[in-house]
Amino acid sequence: MLELLRWKKKGIVTAFLIAVLIVSSGILAFHFLQRPRTAISEEEAISNVRTYFDNKYLSQQVDNFALFEEVDIEVNDTELRPPEELEITTIRQVGQKPPDLLWIVKVTVNPIPVENVRIDWITPPPFHKTVYLNAHTGNVLLENSRWLPTI
């Protein structure tokens, strides 16, 4: 009988310790997930925008011939801030999840065609673009052709 009581006490203590461990792990996980993440640097945001436009223009081909030899990109302005309501709505409309912080990079993009390639532009370059990036991941969320304070 005494032996049975000891095993019950050990079982209760063990169950209590396991419950405390589970609760403390849950609290730590919750705080870790709620911790604000840091934003990428301005240089990294600019680098991601350059890569985005390089990929966009330099990958264009007709019959396996490249259309552009390089893309001249001039950064005009950068801004790190939370998205405004209209930006949140627009980002959702293009199927993205709006982040809590955006890098907004305004650039002038001038794709330079390969020699002897004639391109009939609807609007000739340079193009003035505003690019919206997730400030935590650096992913391009949206590209806008106008320089407006909002999308």
CATH number for the segment(s) 42-144: 3.10.450
Mean pLDDT of the chain: 85
| Nearest alpha carbon to residue 133 among 55, 59, 39 | 39
Say yes or no to pLDDT of 148 above 80.
no
The DSSP secondary-structure symbol of 117 reads -
By mean pLDDT, which of 31-45, 63-77, 82-96, 104-118 is the weakest? Answer: 31-45
By mean pLDDT, which of 57-71, 75-89, 126-140 is the weakest? Answer: 57-71
Q: Supply the pLDDT for residue 150.
A: 39
Count of all residues that appear for the chain in the document: 151
Sorted by where each begins, the domain ranges of the chain are 1-35, 42-144
Taking residue 3's Cβ as centre, other Cβ atoms within 10 Å add up to 7
| Alpha carbons 15 and 25: distance in angstroms, whole number | 15
- The sheet carrying 127-134 orders its strands as 68-81, 102-113, 127-134, 140-144
Q: Supply the pLDDT for residue 44.
A: 96
At residue 149's C-alpha, the angle toward residues 112 and 135, to 5°, is: 75
Handedness of CA 27, 28, 32, 35 (dihedral sign): positive
pTM summary value: 0.71
- Model confidence over 96-128: pLDDT tens digits? 999 999 999 999 999 988 888 888 888 888 899
Q: Supply the pLDDT for residue 147.
A: 45
Q: Supply the pLDDT for residue 149.
A: 42
- DSSP alpha helices (H): ranges in the chain? 2-34, 42-58, 85-93
Distance of CA 139 to the CA centre of its chain: 3
| Nearest alpha carbon to residue 142 among 112, 81, 99, 108 | 99
pLDDT band at 32, cuts 50/70/90? low
Q: Supply the pLDDT for residue 140.
A: 95
Tokens representing 35? 């911790």
Say yes or no to pLDDT of 75 above 60.
yes
